[in-house]
Amino acid sequence: MAEEAILGYLAKNQEIADSGEFAAQHGLNHDDVVNVVKSLHGFRYVDAQDIKRETWVLTDEGKTYAASGSPEVQLFLAIPPEGIPLEELQKKLDPLLFKIGRAQAAKNKWVEMGKQLVSRKVQHVDDTVKDLLLQIEGGKVINQDDIKVLKGRKLIATQTWNGYSVRKGPEYAPQRKKFAADLTREMLQSGEWKNLEFKEYNFNAKGQPIEGGHLHPLNKVRHQLRMIFLQMGFEEMPTDRFVESSFWNFDALFQPQQHPARDSHDTFYMKVPAITKELPEDYVERVKRVHESGGYGSRGYEYDWNRDEAIKNLLRTHTTAISTRMLYLLAQKPFTPKRYFSIDRVFRNEAVDRTHLAEFHQIEGLICDKGLTLGDLIGVLHDFFSRLGMSKLRFKPAYNPYTEPSMEIFSYHEGFGKWVEVGNSGMFRPEMLLPMGLPEDVRVIAWGLSLERPTMILYGINNIRDLFGHKVDLGLIKTNPICRLGVD
Amino acid sequence: MPTISVGRDRLFAAIGKTYTREEFEGLCFRFGIELDDVSTEKAIIRKEKHLEEEEDGDDEEVLYKIEVPANRYDLLCLEGIAQALRIFNGLQEMPTYKVVNISRKSMIKMHVKPETSSIRPYVLCAVLRGIKFDEVTYNSFIDLQDKLHQNICRRRTLVAIGTHDLDTLHGPFTYEALPPSSINFVPLKQEKNFRADELMGFYKSDLKLKKFLHIIENSPVFPVIYDYKRTVLSLPPIINGAHSAITLKTKNVFIECTATDLTKAKIVLNTVVTTFSEYCERKFEIEPVEVIYSDGKSVVYPDLSFYNMEVPLSYITGAIGVPLEADEVTSLLNRMQLCAKQSVSGDCNSNITVSVPPTRNDVLHPCDVMEDVAIAYGYNNIKDITIAKGYNVSKGRAVSLKPLRLEEFSHLIRLEMAMCGFTEVLSFILCSLNDNFAMLNHEGDSSNAVIIENPRSSENETARTSLMPGILKTIGQNKAHPKPIKIIHGLVERIMLVIGLVPPDDNTTFYLKPSDDPEFVMGTQASIIYKGKRIGTSGIVHPEVLNKFDIPDPCAYFELSIQCFF
């Protein structure tokens, strides 16, 4: 109603000078007019200029007196012409009203406060206070002296009145266009959508949260890495065994039985089941011999190899235990070249801190073929790591009991501004491969890294326990971005 | 990997060249050691005492902490590292270590009593004559023994080293094994005479030595070395006698290594004598000692013979993938402390004859020689060649690949579950027995679980036998997370449907059979039976279980083994 009135008025007139007067003239509520003006101004149908006025309004006390008369008049009228004892007069009136009324009536010299009786001093009084209050309530202007009195008695107070002067705006139209909030099925069916404009979205507001399922970030990265390996022609190894014998975890890898990694400080040994019952005995014999006295061109470690050590069960400390089993199986058949990979869990009896857990995921890749070179290893590492976004690599000589040569892989991290170690690699030793029965000219190049470290760098996570395990915030799982490794 | 601490200036003086930190790091990187940390003595002490950082005074010596490969015992001290880098830089030739040629008669003798075979059967000895210690070399000599004890000696179990001032002793020596109560001597750093059994009690409170007591403690006889005058040299592998202690003034050092592993004892003895023969009056010369067993057999130590290997040139270049001439290979090997010469085998193929010195016990196989060629050539110089031609993309490549079924299948199920609105969590496999059993109302049960012998904490006692503890712990840790948390919920039929199995009215494939597991509320739970085998569970988690995991909200749970679908 107010909108029609405003737009209609402006169609014929230059200006609405005062929204207050306009409201009064058109019998509209001023608050409604104000809201419409704000909205029209927002959509540039009109230009509105603020008008501010200080006005007097009645306080709550003032409002009561405007309705039922001032306290002094009420007190005066309560006194009968013959007078009344003070106590009785007091009983007839509200205590506050009595107190104010008595003081004001005495000040006006309307009453005589005698010792016995309270009596009228004049015959008739005018309630000027009430009249003035009614005038203010009616929006009339009264003189400053009266205002001073009423203000002194806290019967009136100032209030800022806000209104507008309104002119046509740049988008003025006699009627506002309708904006639809949503496109509905009905609109499509009726064809009404053609006449509609749609309400502009507030793109700064947060959208409704989407309810749905979520995958764990570590598994997202794991999946991308699997894809990368598959794209590079690698075959996945079955890693679904966590309990392994020391034989497959260490001995078969030419890792001597006194090697520090085999300490209980580093490895979880099993109480139940404590030992492995079945091992390929002819192979065990060859492994024993290569440890004790070498062969295949090697001196061996020259110590007494102990079978009891080899049959001890443990939680695998690396997935290389699986690679070893796979290579052994490969050696039992006529040779075929292979590219193998795996990404699965390994266990270390380590103290837990921000970067170490007792269990983590190892990524491992290997190529087994004749005539492989260290150059091939460097080449495949460049291929693999560049797919992970690490194209600047360099290699440091390192020691590993089952690889020779061994190379630590460093990548230049632009963000950290330095070289960081990203993995280990090498060529498996002949002392590991030849007892399996692989042909002498077969070489195996391999590399490994953890899944957690690149994931932490990728997702900016500093504490491994924020990524993996039961202390992980479900919110993190729900908000982490997609993993684009191997995509970019 | 072992780390050793060396004074920077002293190291540079020994290398014969001064480096900036970056230059030295680069050199280490190429050679295969690592500059781990740079500090000063005072800074280390401050760190240990958690004191405030102070400006280092100019007078403080800068210490380099260097990490060395675990199989390079020759690099466990400043002398070894400096020599290796000097030779690597071409500043020095490989020295020739020599056992002094003296007659058997005039050799110092060590007689081994048969009783030692039951506790610590081997003893190996050697003498360094006319050595000149200063404070730094003396400390380095002690530190090297310490490092060897920690590493190759496996905390003295395999080998223990004793070094003595020979001029305080009178050979011949005897290596014996005697009842502890009959051994009496004043041990190193003590003034009082101890009986060996009492000494063991005394050292129970010694932070350093108590770790070694177990090696002989329960033996009826203790190994002990005496001189001709029954002066105790040492009670291996625990402590030396005070009488023969070496000092800065010691000129002639008698070294004994007692061992349970002969090979490692040889390596240890050779490492000590070769490294410190540098300070002898006659450089790189070591005086031998004859060890005589009770059966009359005798061996002279140290054995500083070279180990010779014939390595075809084609093997080296073929494995590295870089064409190199024989003379290039020999000079590269010489820089790695391996003496190499070119030789030609019968079929005209070039061979490299490699003499592995007694300091390089890590060289076991021609592949170790090949690695040293690659290191000296520079791993990062190989790059240029391969990048140009690309690695051999066909190597090992199969014509067609099959995915691993279990992996692919579980990936598809994960996606399906997530599409149904569930959030994937990744819980630990390791947990406590309590988590796996009592927490799930399976008090006193530990069937089907593997049990870990040596867990560091109760968190690592077993490998979980169901996914339940990990998931409930996750929920317990995420109490503030808005509900519902959909990790798992009556999803069985959906999963079965997408696997391609008919709904449960056909009992021949799979069905739900009411169960009575204590982790679930009775009446709400069922076993999932597939081809007559129980492959999973589902139910409303028992309130007692929820309470144990500190979960205030009800939970429905479902678990399915997918391995049976293959």
Residues of B in contact with A394 (CB under 8 A): 29, 379-380, 383
Distance between CA atoms of B452 and B437, rounded to whole angstroms? 15
Closest to B510 measured CA to CA, from B501, B522, B519, B523 = B501
Closest to A242 measured CA to CA, from B561, B432, B449, B463 = B463
For B329-363, the pLDDT digits (tens) are 999 999 999 999 998 766 667 899 999 999 999 99
Q: Is residue A183 part of a domain?
A: no
Structure tokens at B334: 């010489």
pLDDT greater than 70 at residue B486: no
- Are residue A29 and residue A87 in the same domain, yes or no? no
In A59-178, at which residue ranges do the beta strands (DSSP E only) sit? 111-113, 118-120, 156-168
- Are residue A150 and residue A259 in the same domain, yes or no? no
- Are residue A50 and residue A112 in the same domain, yes or no? no
pLDDT of amino acid B398: 76
pLDDT of amino acid B346: 63
Closest to B561 measured CA to CA, from B465, B471, B493 = B465
Distance between CA atoms of B86 and B12, rounded to whole angstroms? 10
- Are residue A332 and residue A415 in the same domain, yes or no? yes
- Are residue A302 and residue A369 in the same domain, yes or no? yes
**Higher pLDDT residue, A195 or A367?**
A367
- Which of A115, A143, A176 terminates a domain? The answer is A176
At residue A145, the 3 state secondary structure works out as helix
Nearest CA in chain A to B261: A303
Looking at the complex, report in whole angstroms how far the Cα of residue B9 sits from the nearest Cα belonging to chain A: 25
Please name the residues between 302 and 341 in chain A that touch chain B, using a CB distance below 8 Å: 302-303, 315, 337-339
- The mean predicted confidence, pLDDT, of chain B is 89
Please name the residues between 389 and 408 in chain B that touch chain A, using a CB distance below 8 Å: 390-392, 395-398, 401-404, 406-407
Q: Is residue A456 part of a domain?
A: yes
Burial level of A452, CB count in 10 A (0-12/13-18/19+)?
buried
CB A171 within 8 A of CB A44: yes
Q: Is residue A488 part of a domain?
A: no
CB spacing of A299 vs B365 below 8 angstroms: yes
Please name the residues between 7 and 36 in chain B that touch chain A, using a CB distance below 8 Å: 29-32, 34
| Number of domains comprising chain A | 3
The answer, for B564 touching chain A at a CB cutoff of 8 Å, is no
Q: Is residue A62 part of a domain?
A: yes
For A224-253, the pLDDT digits (tens) are 999 999 999 999 999 999 999 999 999 999
pLDDT of amino acid B388: 45
pLDDT of amino acid B489: 42
pLDDT greater than 70 at residue B393: no
- Are residue A160 and residue A294 in the same domain, yes or no? no
Over residues B14-34, mean pLDDT: 95
- Are residue A1 and residue A143 in the same domain, yes or no? yes
The answer, for B485 touching chain A at a CB cutoff of 8 Å, is yes
Give the confidence band of A426 by pLDDT, cuts at 50, 70, 90. very high
- Which of A109, A143, A176 terminates a domain? The answer is A176
pLDDT of amino acid B538: 86
Q: Is residue A191 part of a domain?
A: no
Residues of B in contact with A272 (CB under 8 A): 449-451
The full DSSP string for B24-65 is HHHHHHHHT-EEEEEEEHHHHHHHHTTPPP-PPPTTSPEEEE
Nearest CA in chain A to B356: A299
Residue with tokens 């235990």: A321
Over residues B7-35, mean pLDDT: 94
- Are residue A51 and residue A141 in the same domain, yes or no? yes
pLDDT of amino acid B429: 94
At residue A273, the 3 state secondary structure works out as coil
Over residues B531-540, mean pLDDT: 87
- Are residue A255 and residue A343 in the same domain, yes or no? yes
pLDDT of amino acid B53: 59
pLDDT of amino acid B507: 62
Structure tokens at B127: 């003498």
pLDDT of amino acid B58: 59
pLDDT greater than 60 at residue B471: yes
In this structure, of A334-343, B2-11, B54-63, B123-132, the range with the lowest mean pLDDT score is: B54-63
Closest to B33 measured CA to CA, from A397, A137, A257, A49 = A397
pLDDT greater than 90 at residue B203: yes
Residues of A in contact with B69 (CB under 8 A): 397-399
Within 10 angstroms of residue B93's Cβ, the number of other Cβ atoms is: 11
Q: What is the value of pTM for the model shown?
A: 0.81
The answer, for B482 touching chain A at a CB cutoff of 8 Å, is no
Q: Is residue A203 part of a domain?
A: no
State residue B23 phi and psi, 5-degree precision: -60, -45
For A264-278, the pLDDT digits (tens) are 888 999 999 999 999
- Cα separation values, A76 from A88, A170, B26, B363, Å: 14, 63, 108, 124
Give the confidence band of B385 by pLDDT, cuts at 50, 70, 90. low
CA atoms within 13 A on the CB side of B340: 27
pLDDT of amino acid A145: 86
For B276-319, the pLDDT digits (tens) are 999 999 999 999 999 999 998 999 999 999 999 999 999 999 99
**Higher pLDDT residue, B195 or A81?**
B195
Closest to B458 measured CA to CA, from B432, B422, B419 = B432
Distance between CA atoms of A274 and A149, rounded to whole angstroms? 102
Torsion of the alpha carbons at A286, A290, A296 and A299, rounded to the nearest 10:
-160
State residue B125 phi and psi, 5-degree precision: -135, 160
- The mean predicted confidence, pLDDT, of chain A is 90
Residues of A in contact with B410 (CB under 8 A): none
**What are residue A118's DSSP bridge partners?**
A84, A113
- Which of A112, A143, A176 terminates a domain? The answer is A176
For A337-387, the pLDDT digits (tens) are 999 999 999 999 988 888 899 999 999 999 999 989 999 999 999 999 999
Residues of A in contact with B453 (CB under 8 A): 264, 268-271, 274
Residues of B in contact with A357 (CB under 8 A): 428
Return the CATH number at A155: 3.30.1370
- Are residue A29 and residue A99 in the same domain, yes or no? no
Residues in chain A: 488
Q: Is residue A209 part of a domain?
A: no
pLDDT of amino acid B30: 96
Please name the residues between 132 and 171 in chain A that touch chain B, using a CB distance below 8 Å: none
pLDDT of amino acid A117: 81
Residues of B in contact with A264 (CB under 8 A): 453-454
The distance of Cα B215 from the centroid of its chain, to the nearest Å, equals 20
pLDDT greater than 60 at residue B6: yes
- Cα separation values, B235 from A416, B179, B220, B353, Å: 53, 12, 14, 43
pLDDT greater than 50 at residue B444: yes
Return the CATH number at A259: 3.30.930.10
Q: Is residue A484 part of a domain?
A: no
Q: Is the bond preceding residue A405 a cis peptide, omega within 30 degrees?
A: yes
For A471-481, the pLDDT digits (tens) are 999 888 888 88
Distance between CA atoms of A381 and A452, rounded to whole angstroms? 19
- Are residue A398 and residue A355 in the same domain, yes or no? yes
At residue B100, the 3 state secondary structure works out as coil
For A118-167, the pLDDT digits (tens) are 888 888 888 888 888 888 888 787 888 888 888 888 888 888 888 899 99
Which residue range forms the structural domain that includes residue A149? Answer: 1-70+127-176
What percent of chain B is predicted at pLDDT more than 90? 72
Using CB atoms, pick whichever of A213, A264, A376 lies closest to residue B417. A213
DSSP state of A3: H
Over residues B233-246, mean pLDDT: 95
- Are residue A97 and residue A26 in the same domain, yes or no? no
- Cα separation values, A262 from A247, A321, A323, A442, Å: 11, 14, 19, 28
pLDDT of amino acid A207: 75
Distance between CA atoms of B143 and B141, rounded to whole angstroms? 6
In A348-466, at which residue ranges do the beta strands (DSSP E only) sit? 359-370, 393-397, 403-413, 418-428, 442-450
Structure tokens at B401: 């690949």
**What are residue A159's DSSP bridge partners?**
A55
Q: Which amino acid appears at position A453 of this protein?
A: R
Distance between CA atoms of B43 and B41, rounded to whole angstroms? 5
pLDDT of amino acid A157: 87
Q: Angle at the Cα of B303 (from B298 to B304), degrees rounded to 5?
A: 160
